[in-house]
A and B are shown apart, each in its own frame.
Chain A
Amino acid sequence: MKRQNVRTLSLIICTFTYLLVGAAVFDALESDNEMREEEKLKAEEIRLKGKYNITNEDYRQLELVIMQSEPHRAGVQWKFAGSFYFAITVITTIGYGHAAPGTDAGKAFCMFYAVLGIPLTLVMFQSLGERMNTFVKYLLKRIKKCCGMRSTEVSMENMVTVGFFSCMGTLCIGAAAFSQYEEWSFFHAYYYCFITLTTIGFGDYVALQTKGALQKKPLYVAFSFMYILVGLTVIGAFLNLVVLRFLTMNSEDERRDAEERASLAGNRNSMIIHIQEDSQHGRPRYKAEVTDLQSVCSCMCYRSHEYTSRVVSHQNSFSSKLNPQYFHSISYKIEEISPSTLKNSLFPSPVSSISPGLHSFTDNHRLMKRRKSI
């Protein structure tokens, strides 16, 4: 089976297994606690109902009122500061839900806003993240030079380590700040930062929801917004470094397959073109030459000796052909070639066989580079 298909199937199976395992573990961790909580709360409910003699009907109304009042209790959610906070949670896909559009018009606008905003934000964070990675790589190289280290190359491991510690640092800074301002424990604040910066955004912990912070503490509000955006950039940079290459793997394999198919077809074409126009040499000899050169290009690394001798003989035959008339025929051929075939048939056979050879060599080299470097 094609490599891409195998890869996709394995990923699907992995994810399903991961979900099953996760579900089992969460069940084990939370179920008991849930049962106990529920019993306690239900008992409390009955007690309070009896204490205040509230009818079932009225209690249901009370429930509704209380649940609907929850966002209002947390503050004014839709003035500019609150709306900005909401807009952030939409386009970054965090989506706490601490405030959600109540009007239908708000819901509709929210959807349109998300359709444009989410791709914009994705691209922006990846772009900025890549810039940050490049800058960090440059800094690290300078530091290595200054420290007088022997190899000043910045390896992938270096970058991943730096990225990982930046993420940890960002989470810890946020945890310290929010545990101070929101009066959460450090662990809960850390959990909040983690859930926010991974854009999961449960909404069980939400900043700026106590003591009317959105309206009364502009500095804290500004800090929260900056923290969320900068934190997402740091996480985005780490993802750009580690994960992004895997997102494009299938497409690159497809492209490489297509190019291989095209170059194979192109070589066949170029051989035909050459054979047709030049009847001086026998066909087998030319085919052999072309194949030789191709193999030369692709095996340049480990056939240099044979290559050298072959190349000399080829050079002889080739240069004898390069006279003005031949040249004009080439130009003429070039005129009518469309861009898609240009790469493979632009130059007559030995040369064109080099270009795909060189090209796939560069391509392979580039791909190798891609896998190894940042």
Chain B
Amino acid sequence: MTTTACFIIVSRNDIPIYEAEVGSAAKREDAAQLPQFILQAALDIVQDLAWTTSAMFLKAIDKFNDLVVSVYVTADRTRFMLLLDSRSDDGIKSFFQEVHELYIKSLLNPLYLPGSRITS
């Protein structure tokens, strides 16, 4: 089983500002954009869930077949979405926290316009 992971940062305007995809070996042509589709579709659920809880980490909120979507919502409603085919909440949570830190660092960059694409 190939482990694939797709990570996307979605700005508050539902614009993806960072995309990364790892470990996808030999993708089929028809499933090329599947992770993007799944993550985008999960936005609906995030929208519902984000207001029901005060926690930033929303755990696994959606799943498609064996792929699980985990979401972390920052204070400015930027969403980190991770698509994984294995579930380990603790690992994902620490990953999200790390990403959050990095994201804040990039926000602090005076040349970065919030909501624009992150390029590195």
Asked if chains A and B come from one complex, the reply is no
A residues touching B (Cβ–Cβ < 8 Å)?
none
B residues touching A (Cβ–Cβ < 8 Å)?
none
